[in-house]
Amino acid sequence: MSATSPTDSLPILKLRHGEDRRLRAGHLWVFSNEIDIKATPLTGLEPGGLVRVVTDRDHFMGYAYANPATLIAARIVSRSAAHPVGPALFDERLRRALALRERLFAHPSYRWVYGESDGLPGLVLDRFGDVVVGQIATLGMQRLKGEIEAAVRRVLGPAVLFWKNDSGARTLESLPAELELAWGEAPAALQVIESLADGRALHYRAPFTGGQKTGWFFDQAVNRAALARYVAPGARVLDVCSYAGAWAVTAMAAGAAAATCVDSSQAALDQALANGAANGFPITARRGDAFDVLAALAAEGERFDLVILDPPAFIKRRKEFPQGVAAYRKLNQLALRLIDRDGVLVSCSCSWHLGSEDLLGAIQGAARHVDRFVQLLQVGGQSPDHPVHPAIPETRYLKSFFCRVTRE
């Protein structure tokens, strides 16, 4: 079914009795067990096709795209019967999302579209000046890719649009990993500008195709900007799971005397060193598994005034929770050993399945184990270019705790 087909010809997806409450509260997902399969058999829905979602009493709930082969069988794109899925809707959503980011950020370096929170489920667009890197995670949005591309041209008209569709989420929708240049000439690297709290700008380069996510972790930008107040003059800083070194460079700009980046990727460390040099700061690097390097640093008698932990998600599925919590506790325990006197730990988690209290409990448990006293000073979340949808808890995932650490 084409996205521009007349709405009255769209297939109906009917909900079971009482299964409209969550949608009325604002959620956008329809799970397969919420569908009246007698009235609308899932096998009759075209994978990735558009549907009209209605209640058991035929009240309109929204236009959605469907995937009968997945647990989330449909995702609502429009709640208004007068605004079907098509060019006008995409233009409006992209303009509205762009207006927010342009109001929030001094430089064109941000997440332009954050999926459900911007009314475009399954779509991520990150802006690097005149380059836009996108990711599509769902079959329905994949089928709408051509219309999204056209809307990106109309609304922003960037020189480059590149699809970095290699996320693990695509496997759940039976989508292949693919890298595709929609238009433009591939740049040698992505250019990122982040502002400090005092207005100064830091300039970074990130890999165009070989980097993590879309190339940069914009979600931590606001937390990095908040770091300056916790950097003591002349501090020694350890940036663990550093990727391209943004935390380390920010700390150096705030007055740290030395910063060491730890990552398992040599390419990431090379980029971190280059980013430090580009901003006028000599940074050192240590390659290896974070757990192993932290243990080795402790054995060598190394100590730091500020340690940042920004690891990848240890818990990607609910069943991984016990092992994941143990991993967060161990990582924090190893880091706390390296803070010998009055120092600061910044401990982060991007695991949605790990709640804030779970991470805080892991930090406190680790502190008790190594005879450290921890005071929570500040709680950070994802940057405002990753707005939280109040009805969709899954859109709120990042936790960043700024903690003072002393001896017991």
Reference 253, options 231, 221, 272, 284; nearest CA is 231
3-class secondary-structure state, position 220: helix
End-to-end Cα distance, the chain: 65
Contact status, residue 165 vs residue 216, Cβ threshold 8 Å: no
Q: φ, ψ for residue 12 (rounded to 5)?
A: -95, 135
Distance CA 298, CA 282 (A): 23
| Options 241, 261, 348, 350, the catalytic residue | 350
Contact status, residue 275 vs residue 206, Cβ threshold 8 Å: no
Q: In what order do the strands lie in the sheet with 160-165?
A: 109-114, 123-128, 131-136, 160-165, 178-183
Contact status, residue 162 vs residue 133, Cβ threshold 8 Å: yes
- C-alpha dist (Å) from residue 317 to 43, 189, 385: 27, 33, 25
Q: Which residues pair with 127 in a beta bridge?
A: 110, 132
350 is catalytic: yes
Distance CA 241, CA 354 (A): 18
Burial class (CB in 10 A: 0-12, 13-18, 19+), 129: middle
Q: Which residues are catalytic?
A: 350
